A and B are shown apart, each in its own frame.
Chain A
Amino acid sequence: MWNDAFPSFLIGLREGLEAGLIVSILVATLVRAGQRARLGAVWAGVGAAVALSLSFAAVLTFTAADLPAGGQDVFGGVLSLIAVGFVTTMVFWMRKSARSLSGDLKARVTEALGRGAGVLVLTSFIAVAREGLETSLFLWTTAKSAGESQGPMIGAAVGIALAVVACWGLYRRVLKINLTKFFSVTGAVLIVIAAGVLAYGLGDLQEGGLIPGHTAYAFNLTSIDAGSWYATLIAGTLNLTPAMSWLQVIGYLLYLPPTMFLFVRGMRSAAATAERKAAAQAPAAEPATPLTRAQRRAAARVADEQALAARIAAKREAKQEREAARRVPRWAVGTSIFAVPAVAAVAAIAVLGPGKSAAASNDIALSESSCGTGWANPEAGAQTFNLTNNGRNTAEVYLISPSTNAVFAEIENLAPGTTRPLTATLSGGSYAFRCAFTDGTALSSKTYTVGGGSSGGSTGFAPVSDQDLQQPVADYRAYVQQNLPVLLADSQRLAADLAAPDLTAAALAAAKADWLTAHLDYEGLGAAYGTFEDFDAKIDGRATGLHGGVNDPSWTGFHRIEYGLWHGQRAAVLKPLGDQLVADIQSLIKAFPSQTTDPNDLPLRTHEILENTLQFQLTGISDYGSGTALATASANLHGTQVVLSALVGLMQARDPQALKSIDTWIQTVAADLNAAQRPDGSWTALDQLTATQRQKINGDLGELLEQLSVVPDLLEERSSA
């Protein structure tokens, strides 16, 4: 409960101070001026502002309507700027009053306040509404995210109470100091506060998007913990924050020094004038000559008449005041204080319209000491989290189920100091963030509970660890290890064919047959995307990337030999190529045990082998004359099955349905390809297929690839999740 109460306490304290300071000075001014009767106007403004704030929260809560993002900022920003105007006017009015300190202040204040009851209401209203709206929204959401309202409410109440006490203390203190000092001190304090409010209001308007440059920071003191008590106090009193935009700073500097200068100069000259006046008046006040009795009587009569007139005037004035007060019935005032803001709140929401956001946005912070704080409003549906890495190391962040460890969403490599969005579609259930930093720190957030049904969200999947992939990789490597000698033997047979002094028709036919056997051995190994490093280019490279094309002397391997065999090249030309092929395969056999297979490559290979097939075999690009693209495709399909069979356990445990679907489509493609093999075992060339046959192979392989495309995502190594 302390955890939930403390943030609310800080909120209450900060916002309470922001609103309370101006109000207390306003109240102190009235009290010092002997205008307690006018206090009602101030409290009316405060009451209306509180009502407005609560109404906003209530309307939003009960209608689940939505202020557009930025709408509230613009509202708050405009109020802040108006508040600055009012407070500044008030300060200079007070200074003007302070100039004539000879005793008629009371009268002047009365006169001014008589004109300005509305101003008092407005000033106090704006000062409080500015913060009140924000406070009630804060509290509502805090309570909601905490899942209980007691802690946050108590925290907020204590915070606001402390703010009220602080304001009360200030109020008592300023009552005791003498008038001149009172006006100088409160005036100066108000100017400093108003400067802060100006910066704050400009910041709001920037956040609301009305003014650009929100992220153009003049300074951003990340070393200061913005949530600390001292930062909160400074923000509450001076409206200064650890990060401020250039516009905020410039506004602050353009306002504060000149205003303060004008104010201080005015106070000094007022004090000097008052002293001179007092000195000049002092002698005149004493009667220079004794008065005659008649004179004294006349003076007394005049005084009596004046006193009577004053009493009558005072009575009439009091009566007028009472009448003025009575003109509007008390209940009407009370009702309108609460009704008008409520209507205004509803109207504002109606006019501003429902907010439009594709997903609720949540700011989530993480560091080596704390992972995944700040999910304010755990809700089902599409969610976007803005993850900020406040730590010193790059992090991987996962949204997991704390009970099953299933992964729902992830961000890889979130660099320190950066913010990136993480999206997830959630159904009801328990979730937690898991943060794994490159320094080895791994920690989880608290468990967040999302209400709602268990359908409609993304499915979570058990993460695959590098240990999980060790056995499949070992199995696949064993398969390759076992088949490389077969490839070597078949290649040696091909090389022997090519070593014949002359390629007779029979020898050529034998060479072509042996070429196909050896080539399919290789294609069945599941080589794709550099499995065998440079050996793949030497053994099975195409001429497309070579400067001289098919005539390039550096072109070697199966396709080079294919080109020669099917283009009538002589044995003398082909013999060195056969020898080279054998030598390269021997080197591969030697090197393979020390070549590492990245565990993540294996799941990738499940679709990449056949992506290559679609791109290079079924288009005929890889055909250098043999017309055996479909045979190659069939060998590639077999290689894919080998890779898949190594991963079948991991797939079965995570998505048996996907595995089943993949199997079905593998069978379909296999049947398509087999249909192209003639009874004698030879293969139909691509261009001899009917258009329908070819479309069917392409379409079915395309669908198989769509199905296979989930494997790398599903089986990606997520050891730290």
Chain B
Amino acid sequence: MTDENVPTGTCPFAALADPDATGDMHSADVHHALRRRSFLRGAAVGAVGAAAVTAGGFGTAQALSSSSDSSDTGSGRTIAFHGAHQAGILTPPQLAATFVSFNVLATDRAGLQQLFKTLTQRARFLTEGGTPVDLGVASPPSDSSTLGPVVPADGLTITVGVGASLFDGRYGLAARKPAKLTKMPVFPNDNMQDSTELHGDLMLQICADHRDTVMHALRDIAKHTRQWLQLSWKADGFQSPSRPTGAQRNQLGFKDGIANPDVNSTTETNALIWTHAGANGEPAWVEGGSYQVVRIIRMLVEFWDRVSLTEQENMFGRRRDTGAPLSGTVESDIPQYANDPDGKIIPLDAHIRLANPRTAKTDGQRILRRGYNYDRGIDDNGNLDVGLLFACYNQDVARQFEAVQTRLIDEPLVDYISPTGGGYFFALPGVKDASDYYASGLFA
């Protein structure tokens, strides 16, 4: 029933998301163990270290360095920070996400470099978890403690992207701009006029197994980068569980993200997702990066709910209940357009048919979608402001995302959706190891 290409963003983590109930045993802790021993520690006893009777007294330093334990709370998952690519791209979507666009205030290239080093340091700590640094008596605490005294990793990923505006005159980096990075154009069906949620110098996609972990990470990063970064806009998203199986449903009730490239196939990811040094006119430093498209797509759900099921299904080209293409029975079935040249089964202007015609010519246009649902209040009419935080990764934003988006112009669905913000960013190559930092290649 399930397709291996389906991003399994939902139920696999549901079980993990429960805090490890037994993990707290140890915090019943040294302190308790000591109480009876403190018995021996009357006035006469002086400085006896009753404390150390407990094993806690032994090998303190070792315990400190090795086991700043991050699994006591949260999901217990730690997603590796270092690697050729950033985490949060191929990573199956965690339950909670925020997309935050910043403008960079750094006054020169050295400041920009310092920003990336600081970002790296914070992201490394936050994604690995541990005990926040103790600043002593002469400072407010270093950590907000919204996740408790010890920061859990909790499946956190922080994915850093840069916008085209970072390569303007400010830092002398124009020559190093990723070849396909542009300002996101306005597409014909967009509703971007007067939008305050467009573009940005820097984009952080912060995802974790819990909402509070996402917010904690953002607060930590903002505090540590105050002199270089100013928040510009922010959009929060959530993953819905599989209902009942397979890909998550968007707020129109249809399964979304069914036909993604296979993230486990190096061939596919190298051909469709990762940018390569020297290829496609790209500069050398982009090896292992990816173009990120973020779009805030409002869904007019009140209107949609007044549309007949047949019309809804014809707009998507899929069954609403199973997610199967109208030509199939299960969601993983491949739509057979060759047998249906006139769109008698799946209309020619159905969303899935326009987005992915499944031809040899369009095969290289596929994108990795990693979207989140959003819900952020109401509009002036009292209608719900809900929709999809569309996010996708691709090797060449012109060849892939824009080609798809261009085919979708004026699709029937446009009456029920309203893209209101977003931007194009270039997700940086991964931080290779402990001595590397974000965008190090940009400064090499």
Contacts and interface: CB of A to CB of B under 8 A. Distances in A.
B444 interface: no
Contact of A235 (B39, B45, B134): B39
Nearest to B135: A458
Interface in A371-397: 373-377, 379-382, 386, 388
Given A698-B230, A713-B139, A146 B58 contact: no
A381 B64 CA distance: 8
B55 A209 contact: no
Given A7-B48, A458-B135, A695-B232, A134 B56 contact: no
Interface stretch (A167-175, A183-191, A355-363): A355-363
Contacts of A381: 60-61, 64
A373 B226 contact: no
Nearest to A360: B60
Given A365-B41, A692-B103, A360 B56 contact: yes
A703 interface: yes
Interface stretch (B4-12, B23-31, B346-354): B23-31
Interface string A693-719: 001101110110110011001101000
A705 to B, nearest CB: 8
Contacts of A354: 59, 62-63, 66-67
Contact of A142 (B26, B48, B54): B48
B223 to A, nearest CB: 7
Contact of B36 (A61, A71, A241, A359): A241
Which of A354, A363, A377, A425 has most chain B Cβ within 10 Å? A363
B438 to A, nearest CB: 19
Contacts of B67: 354, 356
A146 B131 CA distance: 30
Interface in A537-564: none
A208 interface: yes
A68 B41 contact: no
Interface string B34-73: 1110111111111111111111111111111011110000
Contacts of A265: none
Nearest to A200: B36
B59 A703 contact: no
A422 B43 CA distance: 21
B175 interface: no
Interface stretch (A113-121, A220-228, A477-485, A635-643): A220-228
Given A6-B45, A72-B54, A142-B49, A66 B62 contact: yes
Given A214-B32, A373-B47, A713-B137, A67 B55 contact: yes
Which of A214, A227, A423, A425 has most chain B Cβ within 10 Å? A227
A146 B150 CA distance: 32
Interface residues of A, number: 100
Contact of B26 (A70, A380, A458): A70
A204 B34 CA distance: 11
Interface in A415-463: 423-425, 446, 458-461
Contacts of A363: 31, 34, 38, 41, 50-51
B52 A382 contact: no
Contact of B139 (A235, A241, A373, A709): A709
B173 interface: no
Contact of A380 (B28, B61, B223): B61
A423 B134 contact: yes
Contacts of A461: 136-138
Nearest to A209: B28
B43 A71 contact: no
A65 interface: yes
Contacts, number: 280
Contacts of B40: 7, 10-11, 14, 138, 226-227, 232
A134 B64 CA distance: 24
Nearest to B131: A358
A458 B136 contact: yes
B33 A73 contact: yes
Contact of B29 (A228, A361, A374): A361
A654 interface: yes
Nearest to B224: A706
Contacts of A356: 26, 63, 67, 69
B227 interface: yes
A380 B61 CA distance: 8
Nearest to B139: A710
A598 interface: no
A393 B403 CA distance: 76
Contacts of A645: none
Contacts of A60: 55, 58-59
A527 B50 CA distance: 51
Interface string A125-169: 000000000100110011011100000000000000000000000
A459 B228 CA distance: 27
B140 interface: yes
B36 A357 contact: no
A228 B34 contact: no
A424 B58 contact: no
Given A10-B40, A241-B39, A354-B67, A407 B55 contact: no
Contacts of A208: 33
B30 A226 contact: no
Contacts of A696: 105, 230
B74 to A, nearest CB: 16
A699 B28 contact: no
A374 B229 CA distance: 47
B24 to A, nearest CB: 9
B37 to A, nearest CB: 8
B434 to A, nearest CB: 18
A242 interface: yes
Contacts of A370: 43
Interface string B224-259: 001111101000000000000000000000000000
A699 B50 CA distance: 50
Interface string A56-89: 0000110111111111110000000000000000
A608 interface: no
Interface in A1-21: 3-4, 6-7, 10-11, 14
Contact of B68 (A209, A227, A358): A358
Contact of A7 (B28, B45, B103, B137): B45
B39 A695 contact: no
A207 interface: yes
Contacts of B43: 225, 227, 369-370
B355 to A, nearest CB: 34
A466 interface: no
B41 A373 contact: yes
Nearest to A409: B137
A66 B38 contact: no
A207 to B, nearest CB: 5
Interface in A653-711: 654-655, 665, 691-692, 695-696, 698-700, 702-703, 705-706, 709-710
B221 to A, nearest CB: 13
A11 B42 CA distance: 13
B47 A357 contact: no
A655 B138 contact: yes
A446 B49 CA distance: 14
A369 B42 CA distance: 12
A713 B140 contact: yes
A695 B52 contact: no
A132 to B, nearest CB: 13
Contacts of B136: 408-409, 424-425, 458-461
Return the 8 tightest CB-CB contacts between A and B, nearest first. A376-B49, A227-B42, A458-B136, A67-B55, A141-B52, A64-B59, A703-B227, A360-B60
11 contacts: A69-B32, A70-B25, A137-B52, A141-B51, A214-B32, A226-B40, A355-B26, A356-B26, A363-B41, A377-B52, A714-B138
Given A376-B47, A714-B139, 6 more contacts: A66-B58, A207-B36, A377-B52, A654-B138, A655-B138, A710-B139
Interface of B: 25-26, 28-36, 38-64, 66-69, 103, 105, 131, 133-140, 149-150, 223, 226-230, 232
